[in-house]
Amino acid sequence: MRTVAILGATGSIGSQALEIVRDHPQLRVVALAGGSREAPLLAAAREHGVKLLALADAGAAQRAAAETGLDVLSGDQGVVELVRRADADVVLNAVVGAAGLEATMAALQAGSDLALANKESLVAGGELVTAAVRASGRMLLPVDSEHSALQQCLAGAPSETLESLVITASGGPFRGWTAERLADVTPPQALAHPTWSMGTKVTIDSATLMNKGLELIEAHHLFGVDYPDIEVVVHPQSIVHGMARFRDGALIAHVGLPDMRVPISYALTYPDRAATSAPRLDLAAPFSLDFQPPDTTAFRCLGLARQAGQAGGTAPCVLNAANEVAVASFLAGRCGFLQIADTVDAVLAESELEPLQSVEQVLAADRRARELARDRLGVPA
Ligand code: NAD
Ligand code: MG
Over the stretch 284-309, which tens digit does the pLDDT of each residue have? Answer: 999 999 999 999 999 999 999 999 99
Mind listing the pLDDT tens digit for each residue in 28-40? 999 999 999 999 9
Atom of ligand 1 at shortest range from CA of 10: 9
- Give the mean pLDDT of the chain: 97
CB count in 10 Å sphere of residue 260: 22
From 10, 13, 53, 150, mutation site for ligand 1 pocket: most ligand atoms within 8 A of C-beta = 13
For ligand 1, atom 35: residue with the closest CA: 117
**Which pLDDT belongs to residue 281?**
97
Ligand 1 in reach of 238 Cβ (< 6 A): no
Question: What is the rounded CA–CA span in Å between residue 210 and residue 321?
Answer: 12
Distances (CA, A) of 345 to 100, 179, 250: 23, 16, 37
Instruction: Using alpha carbons only, give the angle 21, 258, 236 rounded to the nearest 5 degrees.
Output: 160
Predicted confidence band at 381 (pLDDT cuts at 50, 70, 90)? Answer: confident
Confirm if 162 and 247 have CB atoms less than 8 A apart: yes
Q: What are the residue ranges of helices labelled H in 209-337?
A: 210-223, 261-269, 300-311, 315-331
Ligand 1 in reach of 79 Cβ (< 6 A): yes
Ligand 1 in reach of 34 Cβ (< 6 A): yes
pLDDT > 90 in the chain, percent: 98
Mind listing the pLDDT tens digit for each residue in 308-349? 999 999 999 999 999 999 999 999 999 999 999 999 999 999
What is the chain's length? 381
Q: Which residues pair with 336 in a beta bridge?
A: none
344 closest CA partner among 294, 308, 380: 308
From 37, 42, 55, 95, mutation site for ligand 1 pocket: most ligand atoms within 8 A of C-beta = 95
For ligand 1, atom 38: residue with the closest CA: 198
**Which pLDDT belongs to residue 81?**
98
User: Is the torsion defined by CA of 242, 244, 249, 252 positive or negative?
Assistant: negative
Mind listing the pLDDT tens digit for each residue in 69-79? 999 999 999 99
**Which pLDDT belongs to residue 316?**
98
Predicted confidence band at 162 (pLDDT cuts at 50, 70, 90)? Answer: very high
For ligand 1, atom 31: residue with the closest CA: 96
From 198, 204, 261, mutation site for ligand 1 pocket: most ligand atoms within 8 A of C-beta = 198
Confirm if 316 and 123 have CB atoms less than 8 A apart: yes
Q: Is 209 helix (H, G, I), strand (E, B) or coil?
A: coil
Mind listing the pLDDT tens digit for each residue in 190-248? 999 988 899 999 999 999 999 999 999 999 999 999 999 999 999 999 999 999 999 99
Ligand nearest to the CA of 120: 1
Q: Which residues pair with 4 in a beta bridge?
A: 29, 90
Residue list, CB under 5 A from ion ligand 2: 144-146
The amino acid that residue 83 corresponds to is: V
**Which pLDDT belongs to residue 196?**
86
Whether the pLDDT of residue 380 is over 90: the answer is no
Question: What is the rounded CA–CA span in Å between residue 327 and residue 333?
Answer: 10
Question: What is the rounded CA–CA span in Å between residue 322 and residue 347?
Answer: 7
162 closest CA partner among 246, 96, 90, 220: 246
Q: Is 95 helix (H, G, I), strand (E, B) or coil?
A: coil
334 CA to centre of ligand 1 in angstroms: 22
**Which pLDDT belongs to residue 206?**
97
Backbone angles phi, psi at 107, to 5 degrees: -60, -45
CB count in 10 Å sphere of residue 368: 18
Ligand 1 in reach of 94 Cβ (< 6 A): yes
Question: What is the rounded CA–CA span in Å between residue 318 and residue 330?
Answer: 18
Instruction: List the beta strands (DSSP E) in the chain.
Output: 2-7, 27-34, 52-55, 73-74, 90-93, 113-116, 140-142, 162-169, 230-234, 240-246, 251-255
179 CA to centre of ligand 1 in angstroms: 28
Question: What is the rounded CA–CA span in Å between residue 266 and residue 262?
Answer: 6
Whether the pLDDT of residue 41 is over 90: the answer is yes
Predicted confidence band at 156 (pLDDT cuts at 50, 70, 90)? Answer: confident
Predicted confidence band at 118 (pLDDT cuts at 50, 70, 90)? Answer: very high
Confirm if 313 and 358 have CB atoms less than 8 A apart: no
Ligand 1 in reach of 33 Cβ (< 6 A): yes
